Structure 1
Amino acid sequence: MERSQQRRHEEKEQRREAIIDAAEQVLATSDFDSARMEEVAKVARVSRALVYLYFKNKQELDLAICVRALRALRQHFVDSAARHATGYAKVASLGHTYIQFAKDFPVYFAVLSRFESHPFDTLEPSSTELAVFEAGSAVHAVTVECLQIGMRDGSIRADLEQPLSAALSLWAFVHGLIQIAHNKQHFLEQVGIPPTQYTDYAIDLVMRGLRPVAGTRAPSDA
């Protein structure tokens, strides 16, 4: 690639990233339904037409943020897992990490929630949809690796035949757990269960299913 072409490519990518940055800012103060592409253009200081040149609609822009969210979450997962020795402790830490991620990055969690609840045509996915699936697969790969480490070190049951299915199930469980802890916070407090206590208990509960079948407690860390 010639230097001039490379510069144009870099400038194009910078404009695209700036538009995504602006969309994140808009969604931080507006819900998805009320957010408008005109607002994104205003925050990004570009024309509305330019926004549509990069993203054909609001949904496409939302997916671009979703890719960012998943890439950021994967790095949080990697960092969290690295702080623990056993596979069991690594997997447990991923659940707590996702809960904290949702608190720290509410826009990202909202974007992920929209993606999880929206069906897509897997026969003809857009390039942005493919990027989301790729980023999501990278997140689940971290969980799979932690499960496999636990199966090897004896902290996770060795008869876990489908680590990917287990990883996807854990994702679904924790994602739903976060939504309930957030949306039903007042109910939990009324029945005497602090949201943090609830999420800690739920993570421990689901982790019990990963303990070795022999009945011995898996080490929490080492």
Structure 2
Amino acid sequence: MARRKREDAIVHQKRIAEAAIKLFRTKDIDKTKMDEIATLAGYGKATLYVYFKNKQDIVTFLSYYSLTKLRDSILDAINIDDNQEHVFLGVCKSIEKYEKDYPEIFKMSLGNISENLDKESDWAKLTYEVGEEINKLIIGYLDDGVSQGIFTKIDNYYEEIFRIWGMIAGVILIANSKEDYLKGEGYFEKEGFLENSYKKIYKTLLFQK
């Protein structure tokens, strides 16, 4: 019975969180009110507080929920192909979709995300754990490439992860902010720019003979 109630709670929490992220895209997190989230999600404001203590609690849940989706997508990319470049491009596409689906959470992830989380929430601990799972997946991928002699030796894997994440995030953000200008001027399409950028980032990992 307890398990059933827990599953039901998750269903409602996801529905509320998805409504919240839609509002965050247009109004930003700070300007979004709890009653607006409740209305869009189809709940009364009082019911909203059954599932979340406050708006920060919703943001904390969203951080966890969105990261689980990113983790699963990266895991699929790693398992679906044994070609290192194809896997890397799949990981990049996973991060690209993460930014598209959860832009405000993505931006938070580029800074000190813990500042925006409800540290007393169980979701905060789970967010950290899922983040570490993602790091381990990427480390395993990089280590495999080094072992095969495809990638150059990596002295500090966490440093390399941050470097790669920074480059991928950078090209995604610049592609979004300059999309209309680049398309209007006829220079190149966003999709092509991102694809070529991912391939160039991948080349920075390759072992140089």
Task: Please give the range of the TM-score, normalised by the shorter of the 2 chains.
Answer: 0.7 to 0.9
Structure whose alpha-carbon radius of gyration is higher: 1
Query: Does 2:119 correspond to 1:142?
Result: no
Query: Does 2:175 correspond to 1:181?
Result: yes
Pairs within 5 Å for 1:196-215: 196-214=191-209
Deviations 1:76-106 (A, max 9, x none): 111122232133442233113322x14xx73
What's the offset of the Cα at 1:23?
A: 2.5
Taking the aligned partners of 2:42 and 2:191, their CA distance within structure 1 comes to 40
Match of 1:81 among 75, 78, 82: 78
Q: Please, which moves more after superposition, 181-190 or 41-50?
A: 41-50
Taking the aligned partners of 2:12 and 2:147, their CA distance within structure 1 comes to 46
> Are the aligned partners of 2:24 and 2:104 in contact in 1 as well (CA < 8 Å)?
no
Runs of 5+ in structure 1 lacking a partner? 215-222
How many residue pairs get aligned? The number is 206
Taking the aligned partners of 1:6 and 1:182, their CA distance within structure 2 comes to 42
What's the offset of the Cα at 1:30?
A: 4.8
Distance change (3 Å), C-alpha of 1:192 and 1:34: same
Match of 2:87 among 90, 105, 120: 90
Taking the aligned partners of 2:13 and 2:200, their CA distance within structure 1 comes to 43
Which structure has the higher relative contact order (CA within 8 Å, separation 6+)? 1
Taking the aligned partners of 2:79 and 2:5, their CA distance within structure 1 comes to 39
Distance change (3 Å), C-alpha of 1:168 and 1:7: same
Taking the aligned partners of 2:112 and 2:158, their CA distance within structure 1 comes to 22
> Are the aligned partners of 1:22 and 1:40 in contact in 2 as well (CA < 8 Å)?
yes
**Aligned-residue CA RMSD (Å):** 2.9
Q: SS of the residue aligned with 2:68?
A: helix
Query: Does 2:123 correspond to 1:133?
Result: no
The aligned counterpart of 2:162 is 168
> Are the aligned partners of 1:67 and 1:132 in contact in 2 as well (CA < 8 Å)?
yes
Deviations 1:33-56 (A, max 9, x none): 443210222234433233234333
The aligned counterpart of 1:62 is 59
What's the offset of the Cα at 1:181?
A: 0.3
Q: Please, which moves more after superposition, 143-152 or 112-121?
A: 112-121
Q: SS of the residue aligned with 2:60?
A: helix
Taking the aligned partners of 2:110 and 2:56, their CA distance within structure 1 comes to 13
Structure 1 length as normaliser, TM-score?
A: 0.77
Taking the aligned partners of 2:112 and 2:14, their CA distance within structure 1 comes to 24
More helix by share: 2
What's the offset of the Cα at 1:25?
A: 4.8
Q: Please, which moves more after superposition, 53-62 or 180-189?
A: 53-62
